[in-house]
Chains A and B, each alone.
Chain A
């Protein structure tokens, strides 16, 4: 669901294919009948932007028919936990949860928390924004529970009430998905739940690129917890990551609101002005996160080395504090308003790949300088003379620097894949001429800046000056012409961490300390380089089992599956022989199995929770979800999300229909960046009557920079096209291969029509909704050129992860070409 795996992850899709051949049922839920649908056993059509309703329908079916995995749910989820009296569900608030603050358009989620014995600190739940954040109020460390699940305020009862209206009929009205198909999916899933069987869910940006993406994934989480599919082989929710190492770039990360290893970025507006205050996060989060101070101090030691001392809070003050939303989306608008002077682009092509590309290009024109570091001359690099809106190079003030960069085969390093697996790749050839790796560029930039500021006494520059910055190899590898390349291995060693005293590599994050005696660049990666010359990511031993623990290195601590304690029953025995994975060995008195147990190794299944213990001590021997404060899987999320503890169906920010479930049309806390050059059309706007979604095809890659310069790929999908159903085509008098114009509130583009029965109109009560499908791969450079779908897409922000809504908006179409 929400992924076109066969087309976007063809090599990974070999595994679902193998499973299918072994008798597994593949279900594909997608607005379009794609190459994945063709390979699936069951194809289920859905209107773009309605996944929560669909998943809600499944959840409701499971609860209504009492098909949930009792033993698992009772022991491993927070089904029995009692929620605060103050909590008002969206069902009773007509789409709004309790705690909404209209003035700031945000929720105060303190009423979403568990009720339990009060503890000393009170803390705003949404203490930290962004990825992986877990902030919440302390009561939940030991919530009241009702194991009989009768209490009307226990999570399961709330869940039942919340999804009660998500009936097959309602799902049909909202999603346009024929009722019988929903039931077929529900029956397949419940049939494959229990001790013996599991089901897995794969998603990608078909889910994430919506104004409530994380809530869709939450809904999947609820579904999988109810079916007992988390932490078990053949179960789980697989995020199919995109770019080769996009997983790595969230781990390390490249995101404005995170430090390496999902530590929150200090934020002035959260009162993180001192290290001590920042460290409160540890107690707030609880669970394994109580170790946060060790991770943070070790990070500071890795960055600032000897300059980081207990006296100066290990240099905490040198870390820039975020003052607000500095996401790519918001920054683009500020750039367009001339508030940003310079822009360095590493391997990105916003002029074609980012939402509202027209605005993106306008933003580039407002810059003083732009640096693109890329393999090709991208649309971004060429905006100043080649942009379709017609630009006069003479009046573009931006000074553009174009740097050639080494391709992956021309440099060494690691890639982190979907499965959190780090795989090292060696350099195969020298890059041509003066081309250098990205690492070289960053290293040189740092070195030269340090040089430039070396006499500065300004406090703001001390961070830069104190940065440890020695990444050149002891002696360059003689086999290469280029001798001044920094050593990626050195970087990876710092990421792994070492003991400060003797500079020895550490074995993993469990040995990290908060006294400054250890340094570690990315705590979750620790263990990847446990010895001077032991690069675990370089391992290539194919195991005999189906885990291959000695192939590469999976974080954390080479665990191939997170929360795998749940693969055993509460007593620590495998749920079944078939589904054996990790279990308690009473004789050795420890957890063993095929994988590294994701649990305190010697903590017996019958260990009782210690109510006033901190961190995982507060968990019992049967609480598998160790990162959670209460050690349980969250059916109801008392914290961590800014837009509600339970997924609720809202319409996309632009929709051809009004929300059939609530008067509240959209996610109330999603951010529209509405402005003259980023307009939105109202629900059911007759000017833009059709739903539109955007996506990839196997033959091309993203903005096309990497594929449209390659004749072998370009010839396979040479022209920009729109996929429309024969019904819509007939309505508009468009024939296959005709030119057609697609328009949205943001702009117009022209392309060829591909009329296909793989697209279909969907029926919602009395209303028929047509969907237009647009691939995203074209631009104005390369061997083949074409219109940019992103000229139609709006800049908008989902509240938790700031992602744009690429997957569902509205458009109109007509036969012909742009005037």
Chain B
């Protein structure tokens, strides 16, 4: 549909689609070194976001944002009482999911947000006018608008580009490249999904019963937003990582919502006609 309109408005033709690229982030291999965060900021020349300790384990980043496109979460878990042998420290490197059905992209009124030839979701900085609609639209709280008075690309929306510039030169995204333990695995989505399934098998066989995949075509997360091109292997329920169980895609409910306002409008017109048209008493 969007494409049809693009033709109608004869916007430039997108490049021919290539194999879908994405990330399989295997949190069972993450050592929380944050090399991915730094590599991302370095490659994309993103500014530092200020210098305050959060007190939330070793996470002093807090959340993804306009100038933070990778974010490593640190989740400390231990038996409430007694000896803490039952103890674990989960680490997870979060990023834009490059959703198959991207809420941000669908919301975008200017067409700044596009789907690239690699099936990734990308903000065209020269098109975005900072309307800010994509920001609350994203079910994962990923994309954000840079402050109007900020130094960095003021007033426009930003998020992980999946290193579009590097992909064009057949280079691995900076974050994946820097990951020392292959927790971030970059590649063809189809192939990564296969790898993920067998990896999950391994872990279950090993007794890692809490391991689960997030963002696969077959999993509940995909119900509305479809599969995630950047998907994860988690060691706890999604909520523990602040991931929605069923990320919502506004489009799904749009007709119903428009329907109601139309109905009201028509209703009003009818009533209005009656009220005004009544014979005078």
Contact = CB atoms under 8 A, between A and B. Distances in A.
Q: Do chains A and B interact in one complex?
A: yes
Interface of A: 6-7, 10-11, 13-14, 17, 21, 33, 35-39, 43, 178, 697-699, 711-719, 721, 736-737, 752, 754, 756-758, 760, 783-784
Interface in B6-53: 29, 31-35, 37-38, 41-42, 47-53
Nearest to B57: A756
The 8 closest A-B CB pairs, nearest first, are A711-B48, A737-B55, A718-B51, A38-B89, A719-B53, A757-B78, A10-B33, A715-B48
A764 to B, nearest CB: 15
Contacts of B180: 10-11, 13-14
A26 to B, nearest CB: 12
Contacts of A756: 57, 76
A204 to B, nearest CB: 16
B31 A712 contact: no
A714 B53 contact: no
A752 B91 contact: no
A35 B51 contact: no
Given A17-B31, A719-B53, 8 more contacts: A21-B29, A33-B87, A35-B32, A38-B89, A698-B34, A712-B37, A712-B48, A715-B60
**Among the interface residues B31, B48, B50, which one has the most CB atoms of the partner chain A within 10 A?**
B31
**Among the interface residues A36, A39, A178, which one has the most CB atoms of the partner chain B within 10 A?**
A39
B89 A721 contact: no
Nearest to A34: B89
A699 B74 CA distance: 14
A809 B232 CA distance: 43
Nearest to B46: A712
Given A13-B31, A14-B181, A698-B32, A715 B89 contact: no
Given A35-B31, A712-B42, A718-B53, A758 B48 contact: no
Given A17-B29, A698-B34, A33 B89 contact: yes
B181 A758 contact: no
A38 B32 contact: yes
Given A13-B31, A715-B60, A757 B76 contact: yes
A13 B181 contact: yes
Contact of A17 (B61, B85, B89, B181): B181
Nearest to A719: B53
Contacts of B182: 14
Contacts of B47: 711
B38 A716 contact: yes
Contacts of B204: none
B89 A716 contact: no
A10 B91 contact: no
Nearest to B37: A716
Contacts of A43: 85, 87
B133 interface: no
B181 A757 contact: no
Main secondary structure of the interface of B (DSSP, over half): loop
Given A14-B180, A35-B32, A35-B91, A758 B76 contact: yes
Contacts of A718: 50-53, 60
Interface string B73-102: 000101000011101111100000000000
Nearest to B61: A716
B35 A10 contact: yes
Contacts of B35: 10
Nearest to A10: B33
A698 to B, nearest CB: 5
Interface of B: 29, 31-35, 37-38, 41-42, 47-53, 55, 57-58, 60-61, 76, 78, 83-85, 87-91, 180-182
Given A712-B38, A783-B51, A758 B89 contact: yes
A713 B55 contact: no
7 contacts: A14-B180, A35-B58, A699-B58, A711-B47, A712-B42, A714-B48, A716-B37
B41 to A, nearest CB: 5
Contacts of A36: 31
A320 to B, nearest CB: 44
A760 B89 CA distance: 15
Contacts of B89: 33, 35, 37-38, 758
A760 B91 CA distance: 21
A619 B51 CA distance: 62
Nearest to A33: B87
A638 to B, nearest CB: 42
A6 B33 contact: yes
A10 B78 CA distance: 24
Contacts of B48: 711-712, 714-715, 783
Contacts of B34: 698-699, 716
Contacts of A698: 32-34
A159 B226 CA distance: 66
A699 B84 CA distance: 26
A43 B76 CA distance: 15
Given A10-B180, A712-B42, A757-B78, A784 B31 contact: no
B220 to A, nearest CB: 28
Contact of B84 (A7, A13, A711, A757): A757
Contacts of A783: 48, 51
A38 B31 contact: yes
Nearest to A754: B55
A714 B50 CA distance: 9
Contact of B91 (A14, A38, A719, A784): A38
A6 B90 CA distance: 14
B53 A737 contact: yes
Nearest to A755: B55
A513 B87 CA distance: 60
Contact of B52 (A37, A713, A719, A758): A719
A17 B32 CA distance: 13
Contact of A719 (B49, B51, B78): B51
A697 B180 CA distance: 16
A780 to B, nearest CB: 15
Contacts of A37: 89
A712 B37 CA distance: 8
A177 to B, nearest CB: 11
Contacts of A715: 48-51, 60-61
A760 B33 CA distance: 23
A783 B181 CA distance: 30
B31 A39 contact: yes
Contacts of B41: 712
Contacts of A178: 83
B221 to A, nearest CB: 25
A441 to B, nearest CB: 29
Nearest to A178: B83
Nearest to A42: B85
B267 to A, nearest CB: 55
B273 to A, nearest CB: 63
Contacts of A714: 48, 51
Contacts of A721: 53
A10 B31 contact: yes
Nearest to A698: B33
Nearest to A38: B89
A713 B38 contact: yes
Nearest to B59: A716
A754 B59 CA distance: 12
A714 B47 CA distance: 12
A737 B56 CA distance: 9
Nearest to A718: B51
Contacts of A760: 84
A757 B58 CA distance: 13
